[in-house]
Amino acid sequence: MGLNRNVSLMTALRYKGQGPFLTYILHRIGGLGMAIFITVHLLASFLSGKGGHFINAIYENWVFQIFIFFCVLFHAINGLRITILDLFPKLIPYHRQAITIEWVAFLAIYGFAVFTIIRTGLGG
């Protein structure tokens, strides 16, 4: 007798793992976002008429571009950090510093990208 061991997604997300766990979650959101983007993108290329135009209109929307750029950039930079720490385990004790550097690099590049997307989006 006893409660089963299953951990729901919401329970898992509520775990207070702090900074490293946040990057772990965002990494998966980024990966999922890219997978959906590529799937629908492929679908759009096979669709003709209104369906294809509708999907293309979403892609061309600057709000969507901000989202997908977040997914791609965060996934790439976080993946790079994970790869470096995997290759050099002696650096792992400095993972918090590595995450700080990652956020600085991400925010600098992403901030510039968002600024450019918004300026282009609003400027036409």
**Using CB under 8 A as the criterion, which residues of the chain lie in contact with other proteins when the complex forms?**
1-5, 7, 11-12, 14-18, 20-21, 24, 82, 85-86, 89-90, 92-93, 95
27, 78 in Cβ contact below 8 A? Answer: yes
| Of residues 71 and 98, the one with the C-beta less far from other proteins | 98
Closest CA to 78 of 34, 25, 114, 35: 25
Closest approach, Cβ 113 to other proteins, in A, equals 26
Give whichever of 2 and 49 is closer to other proteins, judged by the CB atom.
2
Question: Which among 78, 123, 76, 113 is positioned nearest to 98, based on CA atoms?
Answer: 78
Residue closer to other proteins (CB basis): 84 or 108:
84
Q: How many CA atoms lie within 13 A of 87 on its CB side?
A: 6
Which residue is associated with the tokens 């994970």?
82
Smallest gap from residue 85 Cβ to other proteins (A): 7
